[in-house]
Amino acid sequence: VIDFLRDPDSEVVEQQPEFAVNEHRSIKPAYLVVEGSCTHLGCAPLAEFDVGPADNWFGGFFCPCHGSRFDLSGRVYNGVPAPTNLRVPPYRYIREDIIIIGQESGAA
């Protein structure tokens, strides 16, 4: 999958907090927190988890407005209109099963 991604290492710093610069772009690999807004023109990408008929489609998020595709970590594919990965907002866990979005760890 990495070969098909525009920014596989999440090098565009503005797209995620420092804690999310990892393979999963999250604090916990089982949970992804991203903004539901395509980085092309702001449409809402749809979850398309099934592997599709298109070559190099391994499941992820698909923007129905202009065809941008993102992998299961919200990283943008090459050759689509979206310029960057889906944005990861600051967030933190206050319990094992509760997240506060808009604050990072250590925030009051």
Catalytic positions, written as ranges: 66
Identify whether the C-beta of residue 103 lies closer than 8 Å to the C-beta of residue 90: yes
How many C-beta atoms surround the C-beta of residue 93 within 10 A? 13
Strands (E), the chain: 46-48, 60-62, 69-70, 91-95, 98-101
Report the alpha-carbon distance of residue 77 to residue 64 in Å, rounded.
Answer: 15
